[in-house]
Structure 1
């Protein structure tokens, strides 16, 4: 047995599988909890023979019987806009009932817990860039409401557990993240663009392409998550994590065309309902806490991700 142990809920997913790897590299015993609704067993295939890694196939919305651990990471939620349409009830309950189940588990075993929230709690923001003190502009009845509002309630629940049970739970609001192990059919912009570029199809830009995002490579995000878990004064608090280099969707499409060396062009479709017009994290708080500085540039990260997608497709 190693000296530290962690449970990663959603560990079979895109970010979760990279987090499992990072913990194992630091000699943790790692339990991956996943129902593989959107996570994939192949993301973990290179880890399954290790003695310090165990996969538990279960659903956090159901009663949980889990081994005691030192740290709990809650990354268990579908996050694809396509899934918002197909699985709204599952998503809403994962981030509410599922979050409660993990909080109870953390209380029972006196574990430190990290809740993965999202930049979606800011909705279509009227404040730019978005700071942790901004309460957001969310359409609770819109197509993204099942995810946006359940993450907001999940944050409220973490604060309640911290106040009532003195649970050490901290929250990270994750901004757009990309990298290997994203699903090709994910529905988010980078998988969409890369899949289209590799197949030689035109890249589909919604709206006029002037809406902005800020993209963080997955290894930078995981480093930030690990750092946040180590900081003593984070109990009950929340912090943005991501990359604050802002880029328009049209610029992103042109960058992918250049990096992928495809013959594809760009086509335009109407903007989906409630699609945020601007999104960039204010990283002042994370900079103060641990000097957070993403190191992987967009072009380098895209090349690594394209290599992965080419193998997949």
Structure 2
């Protein structure tokens, strides 16, 4: 999480990818929302809710393909509204204290979910397995570290994940942990897939159809895995499920700036070492397509690794709806 929970700063950091990963984004957004509520000068509970609602909209607008952030913010809003209705005699100060307590409970549940996912995920990794991963996911990192701690000694190949090279972040983190790690260009995935025992990815969004929305390139990787009979697993908290897709709403695919493609051509955090180089100007007449995510159909996914255990894509919506409803009802 960032060093500041200022609403404006967190929104800016999320938009500029200084805060990355669905979990980190959701946790940072909730912290910013609650912090914004704490410093508000609302005179009553209704005014506080309106302030929080507008703040949540500002945060949600930073990344359209982040249902985990939306679910987390909606959870805080539901709690606020329900608490205000069931504690009519209480004042704004009491609501703010309750909101802080709720935030602590929510973040604790998120951390507990990751521990469960890492346990379930590590159990699916064979001894000495060759594993291919894409982008950077804190959830997959925890699974791989757990497997390594259990003595399974996985061999992990990280795809670079262009255009922002988040795969380098994964490779560096795993290597520093002691895990045997290789880095591979995205376009070579087809050349190495038959050497893999498992493909493991994170998730940005899960749909009611059981489809996966994740970093661009995931769909291609899933097709390669299917063609070569390689197991494709996705690690994700159920809070990444988008309930709106149940009613036919398509998960939006964010289009990123062309400068990320026709620019310096290196991972953002490495720029401090290469400051003397300037971004390459985009020639006139060239239109750059830079979708941040793609959609992987459910039939290409072997299973989802969740805090509830392994879930087949066909059962995802049923379990997710029950889980989210139970958590919402249980927090009021």
Q: TM-score, normalised by structure 2?
A: 0.34
Q: Which structure is larger by alpha-carbon Rg, 1 or 2?
A: 2
| Bigger strand fraction | 1
Q: TM-score, normalised by structure 1?
A: 0.36
